[in-house]
A and B are shown apart, each in its own frame.
Chain A
Amino acid sequence: MEGFNVMRTARILAHSSSLSIRNTFAAIPWWLWLAQVLLTSLFSMAFFAFVADFAGNPEVTVAYVVLGNSIQSIAMVTLYSIANLPAIEKHVGTMPVLISSPSGLFTIFTGMALFQILAGFLTVIVSLGYAVFIFGLDLSAMNYEVMAAIVIITAFSMAGLGMMIGAIGIYLRTGMILASVVSYIGLVLCGVNFPVSYLPTWLQPVSYSLPLTYAVEAARAAAEGATLTEVFPEIGMMLLLGGAMLILSWFMLRGFERMVRRNGSYEAF
C-alpha cells in the first residue's frame, strides 16, 4: 500500500476543490448563487423571527431565534452540501470513475467540501449581519475572536457530520433525501429556535450527540462576552465529535471502495 504523501494529497485536494467551484458556477451564474445565499438566509431567519414575535414566549425572544439561526445557517450550508456530494456524483453517473481512480473518495470529497465550508463562512457572516441590522440583535458585548473560533470549528464539525451522512448515502439509492432530512434536524434538535430542555427527555441525549447543539450554546455565550476558556467545554465537544465523525466517514468510504472493487457491485446500490 502506498504511504501518505503530503504533496500528492494537497494536489488532489486543490484539484477537487477547484473542480467543485467550476461545477457550481458552470451550472448557475455566480450572482444567482449569491442571491440564493442572501435570500435563503434572510427569509428562513425572518420566518422564525416572526413566529417568535407572534408567540410571545419570554424564553424564546426574537434575539434568541435570530442568533440561533445565524449559527444554524453555516450548518445548513456545509452539512447539506457536503452530505450531498456523493449523491450528486451518483446522480450524474461519475461515481464509478471516482471509485476507480487511485485518489480515494475521502480525499476527493474533502477537497470538494472546502468550497462548501467557505460558502458556510459567507452565509454565517451574512446571517449575523441580518440579525443585527434587520432584527436588532445586540452584539455589543460579543467576543469577536471567540465567535470567529466557534464559527470555524462549527464548520469543521458539521463537515465531519456531512461526510458521514454522505458516506451512508452512497449505500442508498440516492443520498439526496437523507441529506435534506438531516440538514433540517438541527432546527428541531439543536437548540436553534428553542431550548433543548423543551424536547422530550429521551430525545435530549440525541441533541447532545450533535456538534451543532454545542455550537449554538457556545455562540450564545460568546454573544454575551464569554472568553475562550469559558466556552472551551463546548468547543472541545465539537472538535471531538467532528473529528470522530470524519474518522468514521474515512473508514466508511474506504470500506465502500474496497467492497465495490472486490465485488464489482457498484450498480447494486
Chain B
Amino acid sequence: MNIRVTYAAFRQQMTHFLTDPQWIIPSLIAPFMFTIVTLMIFKDVDGPIVLQAVLGGGVLGMWGNTLYSSGWSISYDRYNGTLEPLMVSPTNLMDVVTGRSIWNTLIGLSNAVLVFIFAELMFQTGVGLSDPLQFFFILVITLASLASIGLIFSAFFVLTRASSVLMSSLEFPIYVVSGAMFPISILPGWAIPISYILAPSWGVDAMKIAAIDGYTGIGPGILGSLGIMIGLTVLYIIMAKWFFRKIERNVRNHGTIGRF
C-alpha cells in the first residue's frame, strides 16, 4: 500500500466534501426518517427498545453514507472524465479509493452521531450508555466494516455507470438484514444466514450488548461478535483487493472503460 497516494486521495476527498458539504444530506435523510418512523411506531415504549432504535438509526446513517460515497467516489471520476487518467496512472486504484473511503468513514461517523443527537433531541429518550468508551470503540470498528463493504462495491462501480441504481438497490436490503432496528431472529429463516455473513450485523450486535443492560444478542457475546466482525472485515478487504486487481487488469486490457 502506498501511504502517500492514500493520503493524497484522502485530502482530495476532504477538499471535495468541504467545497460542497450539502451532499451529506441525501445519505443522512433516509436513515434519519427511518429512525423517526421507528420511534413513532414504538409508541409509549421506552428504555432498551428505544435505545435499540436510536442505535440502529446511527448504523443506518453510517451505511447510507458508506454506500453513497463509495458509489459516487467512482461515478464522479466517470462524470468528470478523470476515470481514464486514474486507471492508467501507475498508482494502485485501491490505494486511491482507500484514501477516499477513510474520509468518507469519518463523515459516516458524524452521520451516526447526528442521528443519535437528533433522535435524542426530538424524542428525549433519556437513555444512557453503560460503557461509552467501549461503545465508541465498537462503533468505529463497525464503521470500518461498513467501509470495507463499500470498497468491494467501489470495485464493481468501476465496471458500470449504473452505480446510482445499484446504490439505491443495495441501501434497503442491508437495512433489513443487518438487524439494526430489530433482532435478526424475527427475519425469515432463509434471511438469517445472510445476516451472519454481513460484518455489520455482528457490529450492531456488539453495540447493543455494550449499550443495553440485559441484552443477550445473537450468542457469542461482545468479544465473540467483535471478533467475527473483525474477521469478516479482513476477509472483505482481501476480497476487495482481489476484485480491484482483476477489474483494473480487465479494463486496461480491453480498453473498454468509457463504454460502460
- Residues of chain B lying within 8 A (CB to CB) of residue A47: 34, 172, 175-176, 181
Evaluate contact between B182 and A27: CB separation under 8 angstroms: no
Evaluate contact between A57 and B175: CB separation under 8 angstroms: no
B173 touches A (CB below 8 Å)? yes
A94 touches B (CB below 8 Å)? no
B48 touches A (CB below 8 Å)? no
Indicate whether A43 sits within 8 Å of B176 (C-beta atoms), given known contacts A35-B169, A36-B168, A177-B26: yes
A173 to B161, CA, bound (A): 24
User: How near does chain A come to B215, taking the closest CB pair, in angstroms?
Assistant: 14
Given contacts A43-B175, A57-B42, A180-B25, 13 further A-B pairs with CB under 8 A are A32-B162, A35-B169, A40-B168, A40-B169, A43-B172, A50-B187, A53-B182, A53-B186, A54-B181, A55-B41, A177-B26, A193-B41, A194-B40
A181 touches B (CB below 8 Å)? yes
Evaluate contact between B40 and A193: CB separation under 8 angstroms: yes
In A196-232, the 8 Å CB interface with B consists of: 198-199
User: How near does chain B come to A129, taking the closest CB pair, in angstroms?
Assistant: 17
A185 to B169, CA, bound (A): 20
Indicate whether A57 sits within 8 Å of B43 (C-beta atoms), given known contacts A48-B37, A51-B38, A177-B22: yes
What size tier do the contact residues of chain B reach? 20 to 34
Looking at chain A's contact residues, is the secondary structure mostly helix, strand, loop, or mixed?
A: helix
- Residues of chain A lying within 8 A (CB to CB) of residue B166: 32
A44 touches B (CB below 8 Å)? yes
A187's partner among B37, B49, B183 (CB-CB below 8 A) is: B37
- Residues of chain B lying within 8 A (CB to CB) of residue A36: 165, 168-169
A interface vs B, CB < 8 Å? Answer: 27-29, 32-33, 35-36, 39-40, 43-44, 46-48, 50-55, 57, 59-60, 65, 173-174, 176-177, 180-181, 184-185, 187-188, 193-194, 198-199
Evaluate contact between B173 and A39: CB separation under 8 angstroms: yes
A27 to B162, CA, bound (A): 7
B183's partner among A29, A54, A184 (CB-CB below 8 A) is: A54
A185 to B176, CA, bound (A): 20
The number of residue pairs between A and B whose CB atoms lie closer than 8 Å in the complex comes to 98
A184 to B33, CA, bound (A): 7
- Residues of chain B lying within 8 A (CB to CB) of residue A33: 165
B30 touches A (CB below 8 Å)? yes
Evaluate contact between A177 and B25: CB separation under 8 angstroms: yes
- Residues of chain A lying within 8 A (CB to CB) of residue B165: 28, 32-33, 36
Evaluate contact between A194 and B172: CB separation under 8 angstroms: no
- Residues of chain A lying within 8 A (CB to CB) of residue B26: 176-177, 180
B23 touches A (CB below 8 Å)? yes
A91 to B31, CA, bound (A): 25
A106 to B241, CA, bound (A): 48
A44 to B161, CA, bound (A): 24
- Residues of chain A lying within 8 A (CB to CB) of residue B41: 48, 51-52, 55, 57, 60, 65, 193-194
B45 touches A (CB below 8 Å)? yes
B36 touches A (CB below 8 Å)? yes
B29 touches A (CB below 8 Å)? yes
A-B residue pairs, 8 tightest by C-beta: A43-B172, A54-B182, A28-B162, A184-B33, A180-B26, A36-B169, A39-B169, A194-B40
Using an 8 Å CB-CB cutoff, how does the interface string of B181-203 with A read, 1 for contact, 0 for none? 11100110000000000000000
Evaluate contact between B43 and A198: CB separation under 8 angstroms: yes
Among A35, A54, A65, A174, which residue has the most Cβ atoms of chain B within 10 A? A54
